[in-house]
């Protein structure tokens, strides 16, 4: 099954890791060493604990967030961890005066996937704060899925003037510019201009996720052997392997019979997961294969 169209973004992701993290290979051990050097042993250890709470096939997301935290801390300084988090647009506390260190230490919310919400939120926080430091203040939220570029900013500053260039927030660490224009009867509006852009931590978060062969396997310090060594149901595994060949992957990519969680993760990586073509059949296959790993 061809995935040549993803070679370019994967190469860009690897280039980002080299540029901002110096990780030629992008391996987990190198990332953890960089994290220890930048955010410290205790924070790195807690981040590892949170990633270990995630499903094995989702670990790459937590590691992507950790990569963003390393780069963001280099940009913003270690003091960032002790400063109350503020939303990038309102600049008001959305969760009360919670610092990144407090969020890192807190128990994961009971109604959220274990570990996932905490470390992903921290990655988003530092991406947003780096965007504010680079381009702020940000005036409003916009939805870039809306094709209309006119009057997308609802909350203009009271001192807005015709011709003024404003910056709006649209995604974690993402901003887009707008110019103020005059409408009928002197009413002010805006028009989105230029290209959207992301802060460096947001770029690195994306880069780790696309550059590495998700979902691993990504063993972490302190992992029990069962994380990747636990056996999987042989009948389910063989059925899914057969379906993969039927979809068009080569027997070499599918590999030898899958006997452990690690075997399945490695096969998914060779099959360019999660770079699937979006059809219902392959998406259903991917979900079933993830379940083989996450709930063997």
The 10s digit of each residue's pLDDT in 217-271 is: 999 999 999 999 999 999 999 999 999 999 888 898 899 999 999 999 999 888 8
Q: 180 has which bridge partners? A: 190
Is residue 13 within 8 Å of 206, Cβ to Cβ? yes
Is residue 16 within 8 Å of 204, Cβ to Cβ? yes
Residues 66, 58, 71: CA angle, nearest 5 degrees: 15
The secondary structure element, H or E, covering residue 181 is strand 174-182
Residue 213 has pLDDT above 60, yes or no: yes
Instruction: Name the band, by pLDDT with cuts 50, 70 and 90, for residue 40.
Output: very high
The model carries a pTM of: 0.92
Give dist(CA 217, CA 211) in Å, integer: 14
pLDDT score for 215: 83
Instruction: Name the band, by pLDDT with cuts 50, 70 and 90, for residue 1.
Output: very low
Least confident residue range of 67-71, 132-136, 183-187, 203-207 = 183-187
pLDDT score for 271: 80
């Amino acid at each position: 099954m061809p995935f040549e169209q993803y070679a370019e973004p994967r190469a860009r992701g690897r280039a980002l890791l080299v540029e901002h993290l110096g990780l030629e290979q992008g391996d987990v051990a190198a990332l953890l060493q960089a994290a220890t050097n930048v955010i410290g042993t205790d924070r790195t250890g807690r981040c590892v604990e949170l990633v270990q709470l995630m499903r094995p096939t989702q670990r790459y997301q937590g590691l992507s967030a950790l990569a963003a935290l390393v780069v963001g801390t280099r940009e913003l300084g270690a003091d960032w961890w002790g400063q109350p988090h503020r939303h990038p647009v309102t600049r008001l506390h959305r969760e009360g005066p919670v610092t990144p260190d407090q969020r890192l230490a807190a128990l994961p919310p009971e109604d959220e996937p274990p570990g996932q919400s905490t470390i992903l939120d921290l990655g988003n926080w530092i991406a947003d704060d780096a965007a504010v430091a680079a381009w702020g203040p940000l005036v409003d939220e916009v939805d870039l899925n809306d094709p209309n570029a006119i009057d997308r900013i609802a909350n203009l500053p009271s001192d807005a003037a015709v011709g003024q260039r404003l910056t709006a927030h649209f995604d974690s660490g993402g901003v887009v510019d707008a110019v103020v224009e005059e409408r009928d009867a002197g009413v002010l509006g805006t028009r989105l201009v230029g290209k959207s852009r992301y802060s460096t931590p947001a770029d690195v978060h994306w880069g780790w996720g696309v550059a590495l062969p998700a979902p691993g396997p990504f063993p972490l310090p302190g992992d029990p052997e069962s994380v990747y060594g636990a056996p999987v149901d042989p009948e389910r595994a063989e059925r899914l392997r057969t379906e993969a060949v039927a979809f068009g992957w080569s027997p070499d990519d599918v590999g030898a019979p899958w006997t452990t969680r690690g075997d399945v993760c490695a096969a998914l990586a060779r099959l360019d997961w999660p770079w699937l073509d979006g059809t219902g059949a392959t998406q259903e296959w991917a979900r079933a294969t993830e379940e083989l790993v996450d709930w063997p």
